Amino acid sequence: MKSLSLLLPVAVLASWSISPAAASAAQSPAATYAVQQRHLLGGAGGWDYLSIDPVAHHLFIARNDRVMVVDTVSGKLLTEIPGMSRAHGVALALAQHRGYVSNGQGNSVSVIDLESLKTLGNIPVSGQNPDAIVFDPATGHVLTMNGHSNTVSVIDPVAGKEVATIALPGRPEFAAVDGHGHVFVNLEDKGELARLDTKTNKVENVWGLAPCDSPSGLTYDAASARLFSVCDNNLMIVTDAGDGHQVAKVAIGKGPDAAAFDAQTRLVYSSNHDGTLTIVHEDDADHYTVLANVATQQGARTLALDPNTHLAYLVSADTTPKGAPVSGFTLLVVGKQ
C-alpha cells in the first residue's frame, strides 16, 4: 500500500531498452484488452487492496472505515461491513469461510464471516500499521505486514491471537504465499525481497531486487516458482523463488501498487497509478512479453483478478486535492475483447 490518499496525476515513462519483439507485442495486441465495464459505487474515503471470492462472486474493497462487498456479476454494491479502522486489505480463507481485515490505525485484524458478511470479532496485533495481509494454507495462520514497525504478526485464527512476531530488515509492502510454508515479502525501503519460513516463523533469505525502486505489489506463479515484484521506476522484477536469482526485468507503467498472476492464461498484471494496466505474458519461466498497457483511470493502482473469468477488477475515483472528499468512486472491469 503506497498511500490511502489520492495523489496528483503523474504520467512519467522511464527510458530503458526492451527487445524489438517485446516492443512490437506491447503495441499490436493492445486493442484486444480494454475496460469492458464501469460501475459507479460512490462513497467517501480512500481505498487500498482488493480481494476476490471467485466462488461467491464477491469483490472485497478495503475502504478506510469499512469493507465494501460488490457482486462481480452485476457490479452492484451488496453491502458494506463497518467497524474498520483504516482498513488496508482482506485476506480470504475460503475453505474456512473467513476473511481477515488489516486495520492500520487500530493495530488489529477484524474477522468476518464470508457467508453472513458480518464481523465476528477483532484480534489485536503487536505491530504498528498492519498493512498487507495474507492467509497461509500450510499453517492455517494469518500474517500481517506491519509497515511502521518492520515486523510480521503471525496470527492463529483458531486461538484468536498473535502467536509469533517476525522481525524484518526493512519496511514490508505486499506479500505472496507459495502454499508450502513460505511467505515472500517485498521490502519497500530496501529494494529487497524476503522469504519467510512459516513453520519456524523466521526469515530464511533476503534477496536484492536492483534496479527496482520501492517494490510494492507482489504475486507468485507456483508452476514456474517465479515471483513478480512491481516497482516505482516502471519495472517488474522476476525472481526465482527457490534461490532468489533475478531472471528478468519487464517494462510496466508508472506507480504500481498491486500485481496478480493468472495461472491458466500465464498472464501477469500490474495496476499502475498512471492509469494503465500492464499485461505481461509468461512465455516460459525466464522470458516475458508485454502484451498491452490498457488505459484504465488515473489512480487505479490496486486490483484483484478472477481466476475463473480472467477479468481484472480495479477501482479509482476523481482526482481531488489531498484530504478532500473522494467523489466518483468507480469499479473498472478489464478483460479481453
Where in the chain are the domains?
Answer: 47-208
Q: Which of 13-17, 50-54, 212-216, 274-278 has the lowest mean pLDDT?
A: 13-17
Please spell the DSSP secondary structure of 82-95, one letter per residue. EEEEEEEEEEEEGG
Considering the chain, what is the average pLDDT of its residues? 92
What per-residue string of b and e applies to 10-38 under the rule 16 or more CB within 10 Å gives b? eeeeeeeeeeeebeebbeebbeebbbeee
Looking at residue 1, its pLDDT comes to 62
Q: Which amino acid is at 278?
A: T
Model pTM? Answer: 0.91
Handedness of CA 2, 7, 8, 10 (dihedral sign): positive
Looking at residue 319, its pLDDT comes to 72
Contact 277, 271 (CB under 8 A): yes
Query: Could you identify the residue written with the cell 512459516?
Result: 198
pLDDT at 139 over 90: yes
Residue 318's pLDDT band (cuts 50, 70, 90): confident
Q: In a 3-state reduction of DSSP, which class is residue 25? A: helix
Distances (CA, A) of 92 to 77, 95, 135, 143, 312: 19, 9, 7, 12, 17
Report, at the CATH architecture level, how domain 47-208 is classified: 7 Propeller (2.130)
Contact 47, 4 (CB under 8 A): yes
